[in-house]
Structure 1
Amino acid sequence: MDDARVTGQDGDVEFAMVSGNLALDLAGTLRWRRTAREEQLVDPDALASWLVASGAAPAPVPVDAATLARGLALREAIYRLACDHLEGRAFDPDGLATVNAAAAGPATTIALTADGLVRRGDVDAALGDVARSLITVLTDPSAPPLKECGREACTRLYLDRSRGARRTWCGMEECGNRVKAAAYRARRRSAGGAPN
């Protein structure tokens, strides 16, 4: 699992980058959607940190309250559209409008310098790149299968790039280990042994 730990105003904020796609990783910043709902983008600084940690922004970019609101609206539109795709439903019109508006914005630019690759862009370019990454995934017939984590409480979406597309959880460290440990304990109980 690829985690990015960023020090924020309230201490370390850990973002899990396990989805295999920039947009799906953004959607994962609202965790446990069906149960405890844990918001990771609690303020503009958290969104700025996520943009850098995810690679969407090449360097810290200024984020204000209005930009945070746009980022959260984009995140929710991404989640709705990805779920629509996963369930074979027609795309939500409001979600389409939000993602398409962001995607129509500027793009992060790249340049080759004597020191290597340099990426440049503001927060709008970073959010535009996030939106375009979703569009690419949802329209590319050769894209890996889109799945939702198999752990009951987890609502994270990911691209299954595993051999045979048999991955069943978003990431090993958080969900995979817990699923495996629960399965081990269940096997021990059914075999008559005491769980560890």
Structure 2
Amino acid sequence: MNDAVSKKCSACQQFLPVGAFASNSSRPDGLQANCRECAAEYYRRRQEAQGKTVRVKVPVPRGHKRCPQCEQAKPHSEWEHNKSSSDGWSSYCRECRAERNRISYFKRKYGLSPAELDAMVAEQQGICCICLAAPAEHVDHCHETGRVRGVLCFSCNAALGQFKDRPDVMRRAATYLEGNAWKPTLVAPGVYQLPS
């Protein structure tokens, strides 16, 4: 056989095309001694001997990639581009990547696991604890201490932010809505007195 076209694998003793061997610049022919399949099997056995598990390689159709989280082969249209990866695609499909990012965000920002967040929402019966009408979807926290207070709807969470988490301002706003206008009295230039 022509050595430029095929090579004998030292493990399985078969003559295989040179494309079946990984490159190795330290060897005279520039190729590994074992074919890719035998090298993968040797690696798997070595890892299992150390108590580690190796993912089973699943055949994937051309133009698709397998997501390690949902374990589905999905078309490239359901993946984000990633120039730094070997195949040019992100490690997880868009759906799983979004879920992983969501979990990471709540853990990093609020110290909440998905189970803890779900328990908070369930404790509130799934509704905002201020308006008692809209679904609880936004984590509310104290901007000074970082302590999580509850889960609110978008409008109530935004309202607290607009009132800058100041109870005195919110009390005046509630009194104003009830028809009692608080008219401050000018006592000195730039100094106002509020009615008690």
Q: What band does the TM-score fall into relative to the shorter chain?
A: under 0.3
Higher relative contact order (CA closer than 8 Å, sequence separation 6+): 1
Given the two structures, how large is their TM-score scaled by the length of structure 1? 0.23
For the pair shown, the structure with the greater C-alpha radius of gyration is 2
Bigger proportion of residues as helix = 1
